[in-house]
Amino acid sequence: MTLHNLTVSYRATQEILESVHGLLARIAPDQKPTRSLRSGESPRTVTAPQGGLATAVMAELRAQSAAHPGELLGVVCADARAAELTARGAADHARIVPASEARGLEFDGVVVVHPEEIAAARPGGERDVYVALTRATKRLCTITAQPA
């Protein structure tokens, strides 16, 4: 059997793929970066206080829902954070997806919550971060925590 690596992305935009190039080089140094058939907005990063991640997620979801009504939004987070975000009402605006379950999914807009937490959650966590960051077809927002 011959294996072939994909060279074209039909999901993520070129801007998103360029933003994760360094991460891809770390987790799969022999894999060539793919190119995208889509172009879109540059990914954004929002920094929130350590205890304010859920508040920042809710603000981002409200803004995206208002700006892009009817679009499918996803929030990808560490598995242990999913219940907190659901309890805060994030599921009213988006599908909450534990990072370990994000492979194969796609959304118009994606909010990735605290990538460092996703990476630390399990062995191979940086791969989960890469998957999380490449689920968007239009917009990506990463919410990071301020250093303690």
The pLDDT tens digits along the chain (148 residues) read: 887 666 766 678 999 999 999 999 999 888 887 877 788 899 999 999 989 999 999 999 999 999 999 999 999 999 999 999 999 999 999 999 999 999 999 999 999 999 999 999 999 999 999 999 999 999 999 999 998 7
In one letter, which amino acid is 82?
A
pLDDT at res. 77: 98
Q: Which residue has the tokens 């954004």?
A: 44
Contact 99/128 with Cβ under 8 angstroms? yes
**80: DSSP letter:** G
Cβ-contact 71, 138 below 8 angstroms: yes
Its pTM stands at: 0.92
Please state, in angstroms and rounded to a whole number, the distance separating the CA atoms of residues 56 and 33. 31
Per-residue confidence (pLDDT) for residue 35, from 0 to 100: 77
Residue 104, SS3 per DSSP: coil
User: What pLDDT was estimated at residue 8?
Assistant: 65
